[in-house]
Each structure stands twice: as C-alpha cells, then as structure tokens.
C-alpha cells in the first residue's frame, strides 16, 4: 500500500515538474513570497525605532532599549532630523514634566501606539518581568499588511494544490489510465492517497518555504503546517471532483478558481467586518484557516485555540467529503 502510494506520488510530481502549467503552479507562490518582501519591509527591519536625546534621561533610555531600537542624539534638532528620515522612527522628547512623542506622520499606527505604550509603561514603572507578555502582544513587530499578504498567500497555496490535483486527475482521465491502474493490485484508496499526497506535499513545502522567504521563521512552523494541512484537504476534495468533471485543462483550472470567491470573502470578512457579524463567515473553512494563520503569524496563538480552529476546518471538510466521496468513487470506476 505505502509503496504504491509513493509510486503514484513520485510519478505525479515528476510529470508536474516537467509541464509548464503545473510547474508554474508550484513555483508561483515562491515568486509571490519574494514579491511580498519587496512590497513590505521584512519583519526584522520593523522592530520599533526610537530616537532620544543622549544623557537626557539615561534610565529611560535603558528601559526603552529592552523593548525597542534606541538611537541617541545630541539635541532636539538632531532627533527631529532623524524622525523626518524615510523609515519609521518615533522621537520621544521631554516637554514640561513629561514626554511627548514626535512623529513624521507616515509611521504605521502600530509604531506610534507602541511608542506611547512604552512611554506610559515607563512612567508607571512597569518592569520587564511584570509585563513581557503584554508588551509583545501590543508590540506587533510585524507590519499588519505583510502578515495579511502572507496569510493570503498561504490560502492561495492550498487552492493551487487543489488545482494541481485537478490537473493530475484530468491527465488520468484524458489518457484513460485509471482503468490500467484498476487492473493492478492498487486499491482505490491507495490511488486517491497517492494523488492527494502530491497536492499535500506541494502545499506544505510551498507554505513553509514562503514563511521562510518572508522572514517568518520565528513562528511555530509546526502549527502553520497543521493549518495548511487541514485547509488543503478541502482544496484537494474540490480538485478531485473538478478534475473528474472537466474535459480540458482550462476548464479544470477555471472551476477550481471558483474557490477564490469564498476565500476572498472570508479574508475580507475577517479583516474588515466587525465582531458580531463575523458569525456570517463561520461556515467558511477559509475564514477559520485565515484566523488560525493570523494567530500563528502574530505569535499570539495558544494550542487549545489552534486545535479548536483546526477541528472546525476538519469538520467542515468532513461534511464536504461525505457529500463528494460517493461521486468521486463512482467517477473513478
């Protein structure tokens, strides 16, 4: 059984790497990942930069240094010059009895919030030991846009995996090779698992590669892989059924693309719809995958939460499977 699953998987992969269309599907997420890096600064550049006046308050500078990149300047004018430069820096300057935050105006809100927060925390004399978790939580060292793009990319990858399956099923259908496999000791489940493994392996590989390319190597990759795994199951099911129902490559790719709509809807729902209305997206496994990914990418998730989300995704996939499995089995006759 395992030998045959592997044989089918390797065959698919070999053929996929050779054909332009399928190779493109495997490569494109990696290209997009590189693109995201250009569009949005990498995570490591985005730790918050603060500009202070040297020796004005060494204790404060030391405190901030635990949580941000602190740059010291000789006077207020130098701090201002620094703040006006291209990247995001917030200046913290003395005024009256307290401090005020000087910005250029184009810094991400998170930088500003963070600077404010640090300032408040310092004044309240909160120590690192007391407050670590909260500070990281508020820190949002990852630009939200980048996190969103990478999250979308992860969903796109699972959709592409479905398309890949559709292509591979279509190949068997056009060449009528399923009947040849049916007169070998290969069971139907070995065939389906072999085919699925191709999509799954490509999805997992691309996802991890994209996370690494975009600089998310500090996130829990195991958790990320789990979410990719569960959300890809649905794409694979759809890939199977569309491959069996289509007669040519464009039709197969096109019909899998239909998944794009609920996917985009779920993302928009999660990002832009307010709390109470989110319930309207609960049916969509993409919503839960996006939510889970968001948690992982911002390193704020707990295992119980994650397991709950994955459980929901799997339950929805299970329902879809129950619906589609008889049709898939019939079509493979």
- Residues that bind other proteins in the complex, under the rule CB under 8 A: 3-4, 7, 11, 14-15, 18-19, 171, 174-177, 179-187, 333
**Rounded least distance, CB 24 to other proteins, Å:** 15
Hey, what are 6's tokens? 């592997």
CA angle 213, 201, 156 (to 5 degrees): 55
User: Would you call 148 exposed, middle or buried from its count of C-beta atoms within 10 A (0-12, 13-18, 19+)?
Assistant: buried
Q: Which is nearer to other proteins, 158 or 186 (CB)?
A: 186
Q: Which is nearer to other proteins, 64 or 191 (CB)?
A: 191
Q: Which is nearer to other proteins, 59 or 175 (CB)?
A: 175
Q: State the SS3 of the chain.
A: CHHHHHHHHHHHHHHHHHCHHHHHHHHHHHHHHHHHHHHCCCHHHHCCEEEEECCCCHHHHHHHHCCCEEEEECCHHHHHHHHHCCCCEEEEEEECCEEEEECCCCCCHHHHHHHHHHHHHHHCCCCHHHHHHHHHHHHCCCCHHHHHHHHHHHHHHHHHHHHHHHHHHHHHHHHCCHHHHHCCCCCHHHHHHHHHHHHHHHHHHHHHHHHHHCCCCCCCHHHHHHHHHHHHHHHHHHHHHHHHHCCCHHHHHHHHHCCHHHHHHHHHHHHHCCHHHHHHHCCCHHHHHHHHHHHHHCCCCCHHHHHHHHHHHHHHHHHHHHHHHHHHHHHCC
**Rounded least distance, CB 10 to other proteins, Å:** 9
Q: Which is nearer to other proteins, 123 or 247 (CB)?
A: 247
**Rounded least distance, CB 274 to other proteins, Å:** 50
Alpha-carbon span 270 to 267, nearest angstrom: 5
**Rounded least distance, CB 5 to other proteins, Å:** 11
Hey, what are 29's tokens? 């997420």
**Rounded least distance, CB 18 to other proteins, Å:** 7
Q: Which is nearer to other proteins, 183 or 322 (CB)?
A: 183
**Rounded least distance, CB 144 to other proteins, Å:** 43
Q: Which is nearer to other proteins, 3 or 95 (CB)?
A: 3
Q: Which is nearer to other proteins, 174 or 323 (CB)?
A: 174
Q: Which is nearer to other proteins, 9 or 240 (CB)?
A: 9
Q: Which is nearer to other proteins, 183 or 261 (CB)?
A: 183
**Rounded least distance, CB 171 to other proteins, Å:** 7
**Rounded least distance, CB 166 to other proteins, Å:** 15
Q: Which residues contact 278 (CB under 8 A, 6 or more apart)?
A: 269, 270, 287
**Rounded least distance, CB 181 to other proteins, Å:** 7
């Amino acid at each position: 059984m395992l030998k045959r699953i592997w044989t089918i998987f390797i065959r698919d992969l070999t053929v996929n790497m050779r054909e332009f269309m399928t190779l493109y599907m495997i490569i494109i997420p990696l290209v997009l990942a590189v693109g995201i890096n250009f569009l949005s600064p990498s995570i490591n550049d985005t730790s918050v930069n603060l500009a202070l006046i040297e020796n004005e308050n060494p204790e404060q500078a030391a405190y901030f240094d635990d949580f941000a990149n602190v740059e010291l300047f000789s006077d207020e004018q130098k701090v201002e010059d620094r703040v006006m430069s291209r990247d995001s820096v917030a200046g913290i300057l003395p005024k009256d009895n307290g401090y005020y935050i000087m910005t250029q105006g184009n810094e991400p809100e998170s930088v500003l919030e963070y600077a404010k927060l640090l300032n408040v925390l310092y004044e309240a004399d909160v120590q690192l030991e007391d407050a670590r978790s909260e500070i990281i939580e508020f820190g949002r060292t990852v630009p939200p846009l980048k996190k969103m793009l990478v999250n979308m990319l992860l969903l796109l990858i699972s959709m592409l995996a479905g398309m890949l399956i559709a292509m591979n099923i279509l190949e068997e259908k056009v060449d009528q090779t399923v009947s040849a496999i049916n007169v070998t000791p290969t069971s139907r489940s070995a065939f389906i698992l072999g085919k699925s493994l191709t999509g799954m392996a490509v999805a997992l590989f691309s996802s991890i590669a994209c996370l690494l390319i975009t600089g998310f190597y500090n996130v829990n990759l195991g958790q990320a892989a789990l979410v990719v795994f569960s959300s890809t199951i649905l794409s694979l099911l759809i890939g199977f059924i569309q491959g069996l129902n289509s007669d040519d490559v464009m039709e197969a790719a096109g019909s899998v693309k239909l998944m794009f709509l609920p996917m985009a809807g779920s993302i928009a729902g999660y990002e832009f719809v307010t709390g109470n209305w989110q319930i309207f997206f609960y049916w969509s496994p993409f919503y839960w995958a996006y939510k889970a990914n968001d948690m992982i990418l911002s390193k704020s998730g707990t295992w119980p939460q994650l397991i709950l989300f994955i459980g929901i995704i799997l339950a929805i996939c299970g329902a879809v499977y129950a619906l589609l499995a008889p049709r898939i089995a019939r079509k493979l006759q």
